[in-house]
Structure 1
Amino acid sequence: MELTLRLITRDNWEEAIQLKVKEKQKDFIASNLYSIAEVQFLDQFIACGIYEGDQMVGFTMFGVDPDDGNYWIFRLMIDEKHQGKGYGYAAVKLVIEEIKRRNTAQIPLVMIGYDMENGGARAVYKKAGFLETEIAPWGEQLAAYTLKAEVH
């Protein structure tokens, strides 16, 4: 499995909005259409398709939140047809690597928030190295991944 990230553009946004999570997961994440609209107003965020080869299998949106100065993964989803193949974990690791590549300001944390009933997300983020911190005012479980400072 070789996943890659590609920016959402006029060439692939319609493909991204066709991706869907399982019915029982729909309350856990905003639609990709909403996320593509939202990212237009978030200066330091990008939206990407998660690809295996030329097939988009998922979607993510991440960037620096001006409220706390940390990186945040606001969205990460794998299409229902591609779940259970290890893409979720691989995608989280891929996004972390992309954040490390972009992190010229040496921001120390990547944050994520997820519904406490979303056991799948909790397991994937824990496996990827996120540590749960607190419950956000909006009710989600927050978790942090500490970016290692590069030694030169």
Structure 2
Amino acid sequence: MLTLQPITKDNWEEAIRLKVKENQKNFISSNLYSIAEVQFLEQFRVIGIYADNQMVAFAMYGIDPDDNNYWIYRLMIDAAQQGKGFGASAVKLVIEEIRRTNTNEIPVIMIGYNRENEGAREVYKRAGFVETEIAPWGEQIAIYKLKV
């Protein structure tokens, strides 16, 4: 069973030790960069995703000030933990956390990913995201409707 825990002074080093596979490095910023970036994004959080007591994944999400929608900016599964079914479960956990804290009743969650990242495409599709358009910055955009 997976659980979410905030990134704090007690586990940030564990988070930065997580790495994606070599052929995935161009698809996502490092966790260290994300932890630094979130310091300047008021409505964003970084979280560790744990299987038992081991961090197996990392995510960054929040309300984007440009469009006032929830965005999952980062979601990564550690290379050693990929292929174990954590991806879709981790996405669903993040969705449930957003749903639980969505006091502004924002209707959607957005995500953008590299069009060549087939693994991400499959995970997000399995979690219920629907691809929409290509963003001006080149990523595939997908949307998850919190309210139907």
TMscore range, shorter length: over 0.9
Percent of pairs identical after alignment? Answer: 71
Matched with 1:42 is 41
Matched with 1:139 is 138
Counterpart CA distance in 2 for 1:87 and 1:112 is 18
Matched with 2:61 is 62
* Alignment partner of 1:124 is 2:123: yes
Counterpart CA distance in 2 for 1:127 and 1:19 is 23
With normalisation by structure 2, the TM-score equals: 0.99
Counterpart CA distance in 1 for 2:74 and 2:3 is 16
Matched with 2:106 is 107
SS of residue matched to 2:88:
helix
Counterpart CA distance in 1 for 2:140 and 2:18 is 25
Return the letter of the residue paired with 1:13: W
Return the letter of the residue paired with 1:66: P
Counterpart CA distance in 1 for 2:114 and 2:136 is 12
Number of equivalenced pairs: 148
* CA RMSD, 1 decimal: 0.7
Counterpart CA distance in 1 for 2:62 and 2:32 is 18
SS of residue matched to 1:63:
strand
Return the letter of the residue paired with 1:50: I
Unaligned runs of 5+ in 2: none
User: How far did 1:53 drift?
Assistant: 1.1
Are 2:108 and 2:147, in contact at CA under 8 Å, matched by a contact in 1? no
Return the letter of the residue paired with 2:19: K
SS of residue matched to 1:11:
coil
SS of residue matched to 1:40:
helix
User: How far did 1:38 drift?
Assistant: 0.2
Counterpart CA distance in 2 for 1:14 and 1:127 is 30
Return the letter of the residue paired with 2:99: K
User: How far did 1:117 drift?
Assistant: 0.2
Counterpart CA distance in 2 for 1:106 and 1:28 is 30
User: How far did 1:148 drift?
Assistant: 1.9
Counterpart CA distance in 1 for 2:74 and 2:49 is 12
Return the letter of the residue paired with 2:85: G
Matched with 2:31 is 32
Counterpart CA distance in 2 for 1:68 and 1:4 is 29
The one-character-per-residue Cα deviations of 1:85-133 (angstroms, maximum 9, x if unpaired) are 0001000000000000000111001000000000000011011110111
Unaligned runs of 5+ in 1: none
